[in-house]
């Protein structure tokens, strides 16, 4: 098994590779889409709630609305354990697990669409052999799926974009090229949740870097905005590359526990099911040290288990988290990478509620 300790720093290189002409597009393979027989993004929503110290509070059994008002378009992070530098489009166990972990909970409010893309694998990041053409092919898969979704599935509905790590890198580019400059499409953007992938804005501003018109989310009523952060349990070391931007710019940090600024509380949510056993990412998730008490429900929730604030200590813009009330201190896979594998779930309860509020605000605007 490859160690993510050696792999993680190379992920940022994906955003820096020189662009080459986009390769020929291939037909979309869907990991998640309404109607699929095997859909990891349509799990049961029953949830056991615990105190930060893992004492049981109670159980929730919410019902998924028959007609959800919006859609979610999800692009997963670097998870593939395939041996080549770039993955094929097989739906491997690690893809099914990451879709459940990071996207399934949002199905309370949205239909989830997630394409399989020929991503740079962990082997490619660890062992080299990655080319610009491989990165362009991965992006072409995402772009093709996005256009397929708009042409055949969207039908004028509002949408949320969700990405993490390599998935965020892909979505940063997609938003800039296909949404930010397209008023009719941009108006349908409910929000974008872009985690662990260094969304760049002008220093002291909420936009002006990756996107010209799409701004940071600063309230639950705001539409067409971005939530972005990278999670650390301690201030990043001097050699951390995460959270750093060139002169005149900064990496966006929006605290999901306090969108308007300051310190807030985070509500972690994780599946009861273990991540795909035997995979590299499974080992990294287990190493975090997050508790998994026995429960018969699909999800485990720990409201208020961590406090969080955005920090620029040492010149790195990150979300600093601290345990509360007996919650465990989470362990980084790599100090320079922070709590990267926790990004998608450390505030999943906050983010799902935000999407719920934004979906309602979008519906009100549409009624007009």
For the cut 90, the answer to whether the pLDDT of residue 18 exceeds it is no
Sign of CA dihedral 120, 191, 348, 297: negative
Report the SS3 class of residue 212.
coil
Measured distance CA(129)–CA(120) in Å, rounded: 10
**Mean of per-residue pLDDT scores for the chain:** 92
* pLDDT tens, residue by residue, 299-309: 999 999 999 99
What pLDDT, on the 0 to 100 scale, is given for residue 25?
Answer: 57
Measured distance CA(106)–CA(349) in Å, rounded: 10
What pLDDT, on the 0 to 100 scale, is given for residue 151?
Answer: 97
* pLDDT tens, residue by residue, 224-283: 999 999 999 999 999 987 999 999 999 999 999 999 999 999 999 999 999 999 999 999
Its pTM stands at: 0.94
Coarse DSSP helix, strand, coil percentages of the chain, rounded to the nearest 5 percent: 30, 20, 50
Residue range 348-359: mean pLDDT, rounded? 97
Using H for helix, E for strand and C for coil, what is the string for 13-72?
HHHCCCCCCCCCCCCCCEEECCCCCCCCCCCCCCEEEECCCCCEEEEECCCCCCCCCEEE
Residue range 51-79: mean pLDDT, rounded? 94
Assess contact for 93 and 133: CB atoms under 8 A: no
Residues 6 or more apart whose CB falls under 8 angstroms from that of 327 comprise: 52, 53, 302, 305, 306
Using H for helix, E for strand and C for coil, what is the string for 287-315?
HHCCCCCCCCCCEEECCCCEEEEEECHHH
70 — phi, psi (to 5°)? -135, 175
What pLDDT, on the 0 to 100 scale, is given for residue 275?
Answer: 97
Long-range contacts for 58-61 (Cβ within 8 Å, ≥24 apart)?
59/297, 60/301
What pLDDT, on the 0 to 100 scale, is given for residue 4?
Answer: 38
* pLDDT tens, residue by residue, 134-187: 999 999 999 999 999 999 999 999 999 999 999 999 999 999 999 999 999 999
CB count within 10 Å of CB 124 equals 25
Residue range 35-48: mean pLDDT, rounded? 96
Measured distance CA(315)–CA(76) in Å, rounded: 28
Domain ranges of the chain: 4-367
């Amino acid at each position: 098994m490859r160690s993510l300790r050696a792999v993680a720093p190379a992920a940022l290189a994906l955003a820096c590779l020189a662009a080459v002409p986009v390769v020929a597009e291939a037909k979309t393979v869907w990991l998640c889409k309404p109607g699929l027989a095997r859909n990891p993004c349509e799990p049961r929503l029953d949830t056991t709630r615990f105190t930060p110290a893992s004492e049981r509070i109670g159980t929730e059994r919410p019902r998924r609305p028959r007609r959800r008002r919006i859609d979610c378009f999800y692009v997963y992070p670097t998870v593939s354990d395939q041996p080549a530098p770039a993955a094929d489009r097989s739906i491997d166990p690690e893809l099914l697990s990451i879709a459940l972990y990071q996207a399934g909970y949002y199905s309370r409010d949205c239909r989830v669409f997630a394409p399989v893309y020929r991503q740079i694998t962990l082997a490619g990041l660890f062992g080299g052999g990655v080319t610009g053409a491989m990165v362009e092919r991965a992006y072409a898969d995402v772009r093709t799926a996005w256009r397929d979704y708009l042409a055949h599935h969207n039908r004028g509905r509002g949408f949320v974009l969700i990405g993490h790590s390599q998935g965020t890198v892909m979505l940063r580019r997609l938003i800039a090229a296909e949404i930010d400059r397209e008023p009719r499409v941009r108006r349908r953007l409910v929000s974008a949740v872009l985690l662990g992938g260094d969304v760049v804005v002008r220093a002291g501003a909420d936009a002006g870097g990756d996107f010209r018109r799409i701004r940071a989310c600063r309230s639950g009523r705001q539409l067409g905005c971005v939530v972005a952060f990278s999670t650390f349990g301690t201030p990043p070391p001097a050699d951390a590359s995460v959270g750093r931007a060139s002169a005149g710019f900064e990496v966006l940090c929006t605290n999901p526990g306090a969108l308007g600024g300051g310190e807030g509380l985070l509500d972690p949510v994780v599946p009861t099911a273990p991540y795909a056993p035997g995979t590299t990412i499974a080992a990294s998730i287990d190493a975090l040290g997050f508790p998994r008490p026995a429960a018969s429900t699909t999800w485990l929730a720990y409201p208020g288990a961590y406090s969080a604030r955005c920090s620029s200590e040492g010149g790195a813009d990150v979300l600093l988290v601290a345990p509360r009330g007996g919650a465990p201190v989470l362990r980084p896979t790599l100090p320079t990478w922070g709590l990267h594998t926790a990004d998608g779930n450390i505030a999943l309860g906050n983010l799902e509620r935000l999407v719920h509020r934004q979906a309602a605000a979008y519906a009100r605007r549409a009624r007009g």
